Structure 1
């Protein structure tokens, strides 16, 4: 199984590569820019969480990952709705699945970290 640091980095790259396949039009550009920003934040903030100074810092950084992963899924859903290219549907669904899995893993990690923090 791929570790989360590599997985979130791959998600960032996969979203960027996907965005390069979308049309450059007014309606897509805004969503593409947002998706690139939030998906890259997923990878960057997960990486930062691994260098956290305390459990509270770790949880705080993972909360940012949670928000950005959810936002990535939102923009993927918007693109899915306005996309007319059937060839991209499978790729969008794959990215949405991965984004939701990263989100679920992150939420579970936050809960575990909070539980461990409360036991101390």
Structure 2
């Protein structure tokens, strides 16, 4: 069953893909486009993998990768905002990526702490 976060991550990927299509085709934008497309689509893909995790540690690892990828995506969005004249839609995506960072960070921190406790020897 798909959850709300899965839907948001999927839609975020689609929104980034659509906005990248509107970027200029200059050399610097080609590099940025390639990087942001990889990271933005990887966020949701890794979260999807987390849903089928074989253990809590596996789940935490996949969510951790999603967190890294959304942070990278946020970085590329901020670069686009700094250099592009058509900033409106990118500002919306920057806000959404910031919210997704918080959500994934909270999930990761909660899950990673549980895993750390299970790895410590009992007193």
* Alignment TM-score > 0.5, same fold: yes
Alignment partner, residue 88 of structure 2: 90
Give ranges in structure 1 of 5+ residues lacking alignment.
Answer: none
Following TM superposition, the consecutive aligned residue runs of length 4 or more in structure 1 with deviations greater than 4 angstroms are: none
Give the structure 1 partner of residue 21 of structure 2.
20
- Pairs within 5 Å for 1:9-88: 9-83=10-84, 85=85, 88=86
SS of 1:24's partner is coil
C-alpha RMSD of the superposition: 1.5
**Match of 2:87, SS?**
helix
Unaligned ranges ≥5, structure 2: none
TM-score (norm 2): 0.88
Normalised TM-score (structure 1): 0.90
Q: When the two structures are aligned, how many residues end up with a matched partner? A: 116
Q: Larger radius of gyration, structure 1 or 2?
A: 2
Find the aligned partners of 2:49 and 2:98 in 1 and give their Cα distance: 20
Q: How far is the alpha carbon of 1:115 from its aligned partner?
A: 3.6
